[in-house]
Amino acid sequence: MSIVVKAVSGLALLACVALPTHGADEGQTPVIDMQEMLDASTLDVQVIKDWHTVDGPVATRQKIINISVGHVWAGQDYRIPVRMVVPADIKAQGFHLTGGHELRDFQRDMRVKGVDQVLIEGGVGLVHTMVQTLNQSDQAKLGKQMNDRFIKTLNPRYSIQYWGWPATLMRTITAAYAETEHFEKGKIAMSGGSKNGATPSAVLILDPRTTAVHATVSPIWDSPLRLCDETAWEELAAFNQRYVDGITEYAGKGGPERLLRHPFLGGTFGPIYNRQALAAGHSWSDLQRIAGIMADNVFVTRNLKQLKARDVDMYFHPGTHDFVNFDIAWGGKHHPQIPIYLQCNAGHGQKPHPAGEKNQANKSAFLIGHFFDDAPGMLDAPAVAHQRVGNRIEVTVSFLTGQSTESGRIWWTYDRGIDGSAAYLRDKFPDDQWADMKWDETKKVWTAEIDLEEGVSHIDFFSNHRKTIIYKSVVYPTYISCPYTRVQLESLGARLSAVFR
């Protein structure tokens, strides 16, 4: 289930990213300088709680520190907390790195449970830090100053999402490996959702010490909206306006016009900064330039050859209705090989489909399979094919030879809004538009037939498939999706008219 990326060249992994010349007020400062990231002598470690034993279901040794990530500009340090957890009696070999923690989490010891306990018992460490907005780490003033400088200059060094958060994880790795009496170098898997899915994906590209990412509701691919393609943005604006004009009932505050000002839909790698940058005097070409510079550094799909050569593992949970990962139709068409699980109608703040899976344990199985050679492997991304026969669509999903699946379930919807639109988020897969697929034993494929509604312009569909993994007597139901598929339709009425014309 390994899939991987190419950073431009082997040297590019340790190189810097050139900045756009427009407006950079401090010259060609690199975005991520790997020599800076690897330099343990500049961590300026402040020990909050030194190594100590913590009892529990499994005993561990733990340490909490605060480190310098680096200077955002001359004289302005950026610091974050780090917790390290290792087995009580041996060094940890590699670790699971997460950033979805809050300041209060670093004020108390951690009791390991669930998959964390499995990792510790297997000799794998745990490392925690904070990949959060700076107001959550008592650095709100710095956060505002960084954003103001970024909008003024479009210098990625001032961006928390382009520099601050990736540098946080890289410096945390350096801090952990500096504890040579407690860590041996090994695999480093990262996981998280939203900003804590996006940041590990970028770090996987840039830092060759990392080996895996499991990311939820976070960007994956470089669709035209993300690259600030002006034509795509014009199409989105026009579509959104038509959609909003057609809304007759709206219960939210501010009226349906509020849907035109979503802070994320269309953003390159997080919140939209286009409007602020244009208001500050930048042009669309400036926005395209910074998006182009960052694309190779944040989107795994720009790096698949390099990642494959490194044999990294990746698994994504985009959500079908998420405002951060708002382009799954584009991704399904252009990158069908990416292993994803689509929970129907899921995303930030969304209520999943009633027929959706309620027992999936993908992340736990993914981490166990990555770190332990004796664990069963997960499914690879399947292939999907379809053909129209009369007033129905016939769908076929096939897996690699030798891969065994236990179930197939398909969801579909008609005339869904374009990627990144208000309609994309608001219009859900209907409760009754799903079906269990049939297994064709002769062809070794999952099949389904969908009756088409008359007069619709396109249909979207995807399927999910289960493989149960058992490791040390614990059951982990895992699921993978076929590529999200959009099929343009000629209405049945138009087809019949053409036949009798």
Supply the DSSP string of 267-326, one letter for each residue: -SSSS--HHHHHHTT--HHHHHHHHHHHHHHH-GGG-HHHHHHHT-EEEEE--SS-SSS-
Phi, then psi, of 55 in degrees rounded to 5? -80, 165
* DSSP annotation of 109: -
Residues 6+ apart with CB under 8 A from 490: none
Residue 501 to residue 495: CA distance in whole angstroms? 10
Mean pLDDT (the chain) is 92
Least confident of 8-12, 102-106, 369-373: 8-12
Residue 491 clears pLDDT 80, i.e. is over it = no
Cα–Cα–Cα angle for 344, 347, 349, rounded to 5 degrees: 120
Considering only residues 8 and 19, tell me which one the structure prediction assigns the higher pLDDT. Answer: 19
Find out whether 408 and 439 touch, Cβ atoms under 8 Å.
yes
38, 91, 335 from 83: Cα distances, Å: 18, 16, 36
Residues 6+ apart with CB under 8 A from 357: 343, 464, 466, 477, 479
In this structure, the strands spanning 485-488 and 474-481 are unpaired
Domains (range + CATH), the chain: 1-221+300-317 (3.40.50), 222-298 (no CATH)
pLDDT tens, 38-80?
Answer: 999 999 999 999 999 999 999 999 999 999 999 999 999 999 9
The DSSP string of 452-499 is: PPTT-SEEEEEEEEEEEEEETTEEEEEEEEPPPEEEE---HHHHHHHH
Mean pLDDT across 278-305 = 96
The three-class DSSP label of residue 353 is: coil
Residue 6 clears pLDDT 50, i.e. is over it = no
Residue 248 pLDDT grade (very low, low, confident, very high; cuts 50, 70, 90): confident
Cα–Cα–Cα angle for 262, 264, 270, rounded to 5 degrees: 165
Q: Which helix (H) or strand (E) holds 185?
A: strand 183-193
Residue 429 to residue 411: CA distance in whole angstroms? 7
Q: Where are the alpha helices (DSSP H) in 402-465?
A: 422-426
Residue 24 to residue 18: CA distance in whole angstroms? 11
pLDDT tens, 395-432?
Answer: 999 999 999 999 999 999 999 999 999 999 999 999 99
pLDDT of res. 251: 78
Residues 6+ apart with CB under 8 A from 108: none
The residues with which 487 forms a beta bridge, in sequence order, are: 459
pLDDT of res. 494: 47
Residue 11 pLDDT grade (very low, low, confident, very high; cuts 50, 70, 90): very low
Block residue for tokens 């494929």: 445
Residue 498 clears pLDDT 60, i.e. is over it = no
Mean pLDDT across 430-437 = 98
Residue 46 to residue 65: CA distance in whole angstroms? 6
Residue 483 clears pLDDT 60, i.e. is over it = yes
Residue 356 clears pLDDT 90, i.e. is over it = yes
Query: Would the pTM of this model clear 0.75, i.e. be above it?
Result: yes
Considering only residues 187 and 12, tell me which one the structure prediction assigns the higher pLDDT. Answer: 187
Find out whether 376 and 475 touch, Cβ atoms under 8 Å.
no
Residue 460 to residue 458: CA distance in whole angstroms? 7
Residue 30 pLDDT grade (very low, low, confident, very high; cuts 50, 70, 90): low
